[in-house]
Chain A
């Protein structure tokens, strides 16, 4: 290709992204219908010939903005498809020849046809699959993009985002051209859209001409699959921003002034180079022109590095990175840490040929010129993520999943696929399965209640060595947004968020901890009992309100932490003491315990048949063929997809019968206790039941919560309660063990002892101070039942609460 300056006539008039302003302002003339045939070579006028034209449209009044995102203007002429490509000049193309199809050099794009097609798309496209929430305020039965144009005329933001998927469904050929020749097709789109816009809204005033930004090109989704064939094509990839550079001013147009006669001229930058004029055209002096920086035109540019999202990576490899250039208003749109979908043109630039060296490195540098950014995590705040869904599931996959869901025993199937290396514990696995699906998110903020927790929290307690940690590890590996921490090593800071000084920018940066990171996922906390009190206290807020408040270093904020908590706790004594209640065994505050929907005990069942099955399971674990292991891996992938699908698509609502069943279940639960003067259920338990029932409906891919869901929720809840809230003294299930930390019988007993103690003290007469040990011995002496030291302490405490006495060290003093 020869240099642009030598053959100005070959400049493509259709170009919407010319680098000079004079040039842009002359564009409208070729928009005029009937004046010249669009495909006619006449449109390649010289700059002088283009100045005239009917001063009709306001396109002309609106300056075009450069589009460095499409690369520097490639000076490709249009050529006749049937003739040989021109060797050096555009002579062939300029020959008017009726009946021949003119295309842009190197492509099969005919500007006129392409423009027409796109205009037809804009005018006619109605999205059949559109949903209300995505296009708020738009009429779904009217052409989508015409409404968007109207929006532009009102708002004045001259950017039209076009979903490539919609282009594809409307005109597959146009879509193919867009993907293959974005550099040529997008400017054509720009032209088409501006023409249409100013025709329809002739009086609109825009800052500059409308630019089309296509997104959602299905060409490539994964950075790993980029290959040389994608060069110069429109691609969409997802990734995470890891670094952004400072703003780089990039020269678009150089301004030269003659030092002798002050004649000035502008030279457009072509692929990073400026052809410095050697001779002044005015005074014919050689080498008299000097570059004037502050009259040259610059555009903003930023280098962004993105890295493959961890989910897209094959195991055992390191993530790939790609360089992205953002231009103009896309600069500073993204921050390190953002997860984005980026649409742009993939470029490969040969290493610069240096005049000193004869041979060069045979490597190309690759980057992407960004055209469109879409933050994926930002949308997470608003709920649905349509792009992510499309990425996750192919139609085949959805079909497989739906077939699986239709099976009557899907619930059992899934629960047995969960952590197959862990033996039995069916109910615990079922509970965790429901936790993985979660309930339906409801918003009651209008009625003042705020968000209603949809996540199911589960606590596993039990003897050490009953594979609790293994279960946690499994869950952590299964879910995409899982976090695994150990109560032993983690501090409150590691769980919540901390403020860090960025070493580079010296800026304060909020670094999020495990709980925030597992937003919309599961936070697995091992050794829950080893956690310090201060750390545990942050969990109170997270586990009910699902938010995290931070006030540190002048940063005050509330972060979302809609995470399900799966915790494992060991008994305080090395072995679980069946004579004690759950609270006594694990010594956790009941305020925290009541926030768990399900509390399971993982105990050694000690029964011969079980032992045999367990032994068989373990031995086969240690001797199993490779294929069987392979098979399981497949299962894990299916399970993962199944859960992801259900979580994104299925939002079950309570049916009439189900709500009735829930009410009955709750009333029943209340009744059990009331016979013995105990409360055995609180509203929190009802909420748990609802969540579990919803999760079970999700497992069935059902949009409705039905009675069977409630039945299973009830059963599971009862099973868990049976394990964790049975009063060891009476053998009855007593929810107050979990809600108040003490069973009703224990409370009654405490009250009795306190009264006995009070009597004893009163019997002693007027002794203002007593020895602690003496008092205990006396009480033991007169009581028929054994009085433990703990019981005695509690009695003392309750008397102290009555302001009857105080305990200081080893002395008990009467008050008043």
Chain B
């Protein structure tokens, strides 16, 4: 196929022709013979494999099911298990055919039917067959091959619909399948029991002794005993692995005889690993080691046999230096688990040099990642400095894909095992220096929290950040930490003339212009703190605040800070200043949010286990954790922010809140009189910064939590409202929302600054919706930016019916928020209340503009001031496919310009956003980096808010 299709187009053409041919054959008058049917169904399968939709042939496939010929039946089942959706209407017909085949007593037909059930595994099939299959499984006269299939079929149904599989008398008979003659049946039964016993451990308890005796028979058999189930001289490796997995569902056997037998098995397996191989083939060692690794997992799971644990550790230690990469990988992975056991932790630690070496020299990133995991797991007080240092040095060359994770790990270890906090501060600052881009907010929040809470380290921290900031190029995160720490504790180093207040200030201010808005906002707060700490810097700082670039800054947040801080510094008395700008109070202790982040990143299972293992171990060793330790109690709160900030990503507003709202409660000891004085002194003539402050504080909350002014009791937008919004940025039609009751479809069209949107509300139930009311609202500023008219709808929606609402939209000026759609209705006895964001985004009012390369670059240069540009670098969330990207950019609304960018991989686009008041010209450029799986998106428009909004919208799409 690929050879025929030289290009994508040719391939599609060829396939469409073939599909038309097959369709005409199916639809034709002449009945097709079985062979032809089979041939065409095969072709459809192949076409489907290549990624083309197949929308016919299902009926023909269903007809093949009832054929008496095996070959036709087989191809019918194949088609259905590959192509039929589980909720297909044909399912009843299919079920019927399956029922007949199950009852046919022809083992081959029965197997085909069981395969089909297992592969489709839908709920309808479970409903139809879940009670039937256990009977087939345990019937005395069932053939082995059917038993095998029935066991796995039941397993699949239990996984998809556990409620439909009745437990009963058959369960005890299933356990006895572990004694079956046929090893294929035993393998299938073991899989089934492993799954069932996870949820019903008591019901299947007896399987433990049966599994042990089966395992022991296999392990002690000679390599030829099991004939066909011997794989490259290893007897029944898959079954052994499955049995060892099954045993991991239970605690160690209580019966001493059984336990003794099992331990004997494990020892035999460990001994065999030391014997010379029976074959040089890699398959032989793979099979042998598959069993060995599973046995080690079981030993770790029991965690009660010190002798075996240490042997396991030594065995893994050998594998760490094995020439097979796979074995090194698996050994590192298993050792992570061993490190958590009190018996083997010390033994694992002896391999530290090997693991560090693996981190440095392994060629494969998968293996390096496991090595980093293991170093993290084996870290304790004794080796923390070494491990942290190694990880730090590895960071300089680490793969991009794992840098962020390593940063988190270093940050956690440095904090957890910090004996003296100067080491901790050094480590984190190094971290920022080496891998600044990968240091997430949580990490630098945490270092500030710790410095504020421990006064023995504050002076050192101030000195260190001061030195770090002297580097000609330092990362913005360093500036943030530096600004914050000097603002709080700069006085501790001000005695040294080399770091006098003015020197400190000038150093900070030299970075100011290179920083982003949130960092500048933070620096402004540091400056006002300087005014309090060092009165001698007051005039210099006031000059800075007074300059046009601050007082007239186009960023509202920066401007507001400059205005307020300037007033504060010139009007408030030193007492008031000292009170308002007092040092931050200690933070309450809480779980490190870095840990929460790592957990989130690695999935809940892995890290928690490791941490719990650690906890036990430290208790045993009697180790005393440092006072400021990350609590190991897991209360994952991914959004827990350390500084008590409202988690506003822009950080602007909330940083302002933090300086004031956190500082003011800290002065709880104020006398009532002085409090009076305090508020009066802020009560300024003219502009009222006090009230502005209040606005800023409240503003952050109110905007997000009170979405719809006007409606009395608005439901909050559904949590994924923003995802829904993102879904429609590049397209106009689709399903906006769906739950059990209601489906909302959307169709929309836009021209210039006008749009029309059709909303379709489908009642999915058979019951009427009463008092069905829709309310479209524009929160806040949006009222002045969009004009929306919605036509009223009928208050009753019949069961199964659909109502339509038409909304006319006029865009008055550019906007960022989305209008809200509130839906209320009564279903049964309860009132349903749903609030969604309507997917009306500013890019809908795009008109594409074609232009030549020269024009483009000329305009690009014209829009070069920093406010006009918005840029974002982000990871690809979807595969980086050029065609898909093009389609998305066109859907976004801009023209896609060919041959403009000298780099052909890049995409550039241009367009004009039409609003009633203004038209905004927009240029965009998207640069994919497929190696790093990243994009850089740059938008330049004549209006800052538009650049930012478009950038935010479009960056969610890839």
> Do chains A and B stick together as partners?
no
Q: Which residues of B contact A (CB under 8 A)?
A: none
Contacts from A to B (Cβ < 8 Å): none
